[in-house]
Amino acid sequence: MPQDHPTDNPILNAAKRELAERAKATAPLCMANDAYNGPARIVSINTSAHKGTRKSPVADGHDTVIEQFGLATDAHAGHWHRQVSFLAAESIQTAQARGLDVHEGDFGENFTTRGINLLSLPLGTQLKLGSEVLVEISQIGKACHTRCAIYYLAGDCIFPHEGVFGVVLKGGEVYAGDDIQVIKLGDGTCSFTPAEALEEIERARQKGTL
């Protein structure tokens, strides 16, 4: 069933309405930051061998992104709608200001970014990473059912609220320091995202856990 069509499911319809509103939002794509005035870019590329753990910056700041799969060396890569993940360095800095001893990758994100307001980007937005890689945003936020190792190691986890996920449309090489470009602003829908995932996010928002 096409995701931009109405359904008989009120939870799913509510989720779609909220995502569509994001597409109309006027929030700037670039975040104001007194310490950084350059283009949106990748600060760090992070991977892990297992899910539910902190990720570590990759050697030499370089990795290969595989089309419709994700980062070649990461446990979360696979044939699903959350192949790669993003978190703003500004969000990590806010957590540090609250006293948390956290750094790039500690919340489990693949790409730590700077200078782009990830949360203002609706589903379906296409991002170009460096000169080759193309990613479509497929999910904003994440419903956590249990507290994983990241929560206990970091003392808190901002990723369910501020993490952004994507599907790889075109693979290639990616490097820390690469620019991030918004190639196409989405309409609030993503054909790769299952209806069940939208429903889960909406239920979490209604419960106040997201």
pLDDT value for 28: 42
Question: Whole-model pTM?
Answer: 0.80
pLDDT value for 87: 96
pLDDT value for 34: 39
Domains, the chain, with CATH or none: 41-207 (2.40.33.20)
pLDDT value for 38: 63
Q: Which residues of the chain have pLDDT under 70?
A: 1-38, 144-157, 208-210
pLDDT value for 32: 38
φ, ψ of residue 63 to 5 degrees: the values are -155, 170
Task: Give per-residue pLDDT as tens, 174-190.
Answer: 999 999 999 999 999 99
pLDDT value for 150: 58
pLDDT value for 132: 97
pLDDT value for 37: 52
Task: Give per-residue pLDDT as tens, 129-174.
Answer: 999 999 999 999 887 656 655 566 655 567 888 999 999 999 999 9
